[in-house]
Amino acid sequence: KSDSDTYSCDIGDAQSRAKLTVQETPVLFKQELQSEEAKEGKQVRLTCELSKPGAPVKWMKGDTVLHASEKYELKQHGTVAELIIRDVKSVDA
């Protein structure tokens, strides 16, 4: 997308211009989240893989957006996004 701009070829007395518009491809899931089961007090890791590295990810539980805390760790390495839930309780289901 950052390559979108007007480009020109200059030969001194004349110039030719063209506009380049780069359309971003949508981010898709290469690997979706998988359901997990865990015993209370354990740690759970939820992982998904995206089609583009560094794509913005928002983790949610129901309608609530999750933020990094002692309970939740949010990681993103390249195309892989992870949510780690520590000390799971029945209310985390």
Give the burial class of 4: count Cβ atoms within 10 A of its Cβ; 0-12 exposed, 13-18 middle, 19 or more buried.
exposed
Residue 65's pLDDT is 97
What's the predicted TM-score (pTM) here? 0.76
Q: What is the fold, at CATH topology level, of the domain defined by 29-85?
A: Immunoglobulin-like (2.60.40)
The separation between CA 60 and the C-alpha centre of its own chain, rounded to angstroms, equals: 13
Per-position pLDDT tens, the chain of length 93: 889 999 999 999 999 999 999 998 899 999 999 999 999 999 999 999 999 998 999 999 999 999 999 999 999 999 999 999 999 999 999
Angstrom distance (rounded) from CA 84 to CA 43: 7
Residue 77's pLDDT is 96
Return all residues near 35 (Cβ < 8 A) that are at least 6 apart: none
* In contact, 22 and 3? CB cutoff 8 Å: yes
